[in-house]
Amino acid sequence: MATQGALAIRHAGKIYDPEGVHVVALDDVSVDIGAGEFCVIVGPSGCGKTTLLNAVAGFDQLTDGEIVMDEQLLASPGRKLLPGPDRMVVFQHGALFPWKTVLWNVACGPIAQNRMTPTEANEKARELLGRVGLAGAEKQYSGELSGGQKRRVEIVRALMNDPKILLLDEPFRALDALTKSVVQEYLLELYDYSRKTVFFITHDLEEAIFLADNVVVMTTRPGRVKKIVRVDMPRPRTHEVTTTDRFLQLKSELGAAIHEEALRAFEAGERELA
Tell me whether residue 113 or residue 249 sits nearer to another protein (CB atom): 113
Q: How far is the CB of 204 from another protein (least distance, A)?
A: 21
Tell me whether residue 100 or residue 226 sits nearer to another protein (CB atom): 100
Examine residue 149 and tell whether it contacts another protein (CB under 8 A). Answer: no
Q: How far is the CB of 93 from another protein (least distance, A)?
A: 6
Tell me whether residue 67 or residue 225 sits nearer to another protein (CB atom): 67
Residues 159, 106 contacting (CB under 8 angstroms): no
Rounded-to-integer distance, Cα 71 and Cα 200, Å: 21
For the stretch 151-172, what's the b/e string if a residue is b when 16 or more beta carbons lie within 10 angstroms of its beta carbon? bbbbbbbbbbbbbbbbbbbbbb
Q: How far is the CB of 200 from another protein (least distance, A)?
A: 16
- Of 185, 137, 165, nearest to 68 by C-alpha is 165
Q: Site for another protein (CB under 8 A): how many residues? A: 29
Which of 45, 113, 119, 252: binder of another protein (CB under 8 A)? 113
Dihedral over Cα of 60, 85, 154, 196: its sign: negative
Contacts of 228 (CB under 8 A, 6+ apart): 31, 214, 215, 216, 217
Which of 82, 177, 178, 274: binder of another protein (CB under 8 A)? 82
DSSP state of 138: T
Q: How far is the CB of 19 from another protein (least distance, A)?
A: 19
Q: Of the listed pieces 26-34, 89-97, 187-195, 227-235, which binds another protein according to CB under 8 A?
A: 89-97
Which of 7, 26, 50, 87: binder of another protein (CB under 8 A)? 87
Residue 231 — φ and ψ, nearest 5°? -95, 105
Examine residue 141 and tell whether it contacts another protein (CB under 8 A). Answer: yes
Residue 217 — φ and ψ, nearest 5°? -95, 130
Centre a 10 Å sphere on the Cβ of residue 136 and count the other Cβ atoms it contains. Answer: 10
Rounded-to-integer distance, Cα 233 and Cα 228, Å: 15
Q: How far is the CB of 11 from another protein (least distance, A)?
A: 25
Q: Of the listed pieces 81-89, 116-124, 197-205, 224-232, which binds another protein according to CB under 8 A?
A: 81-89
For the stretch 219-237, what's the b/e string if a residue is b when 16 or more beta carbons lie within 10 angstroms of its beta carbon? bbbbbbbbbebebebeeeb
Show the site string, 93-112: x = touches another protein by CB under 8 A, - = not. xxx-xxxx-------xx--x
Which of 34, 46, 84, 269: binder of another protein (CB under 8 A)? 84
Rounded-to-integer distance, Cα 79 and Cα 63, Å: 11
Rounded-to-integer distance, Cα 113 and Cα 243, Å: 44
Tell me whether residue 159 or residue 205 sits nearer to another protein (CB atom): 159
Q: How far is the CB of 25 from another protein (least distance, A)?
A: 18
Q: Of the listed pieces 22-30, 142-150, 171-179, 184-192, which binds another protein according to CB under 8 A?
A: 142-150
Q: List residues binding another protein (CB under 8 A).
A: 57-59, 82-85, 87-89, 91-95, 97-100, 108-109, 112-113, 141-144, 157, 161
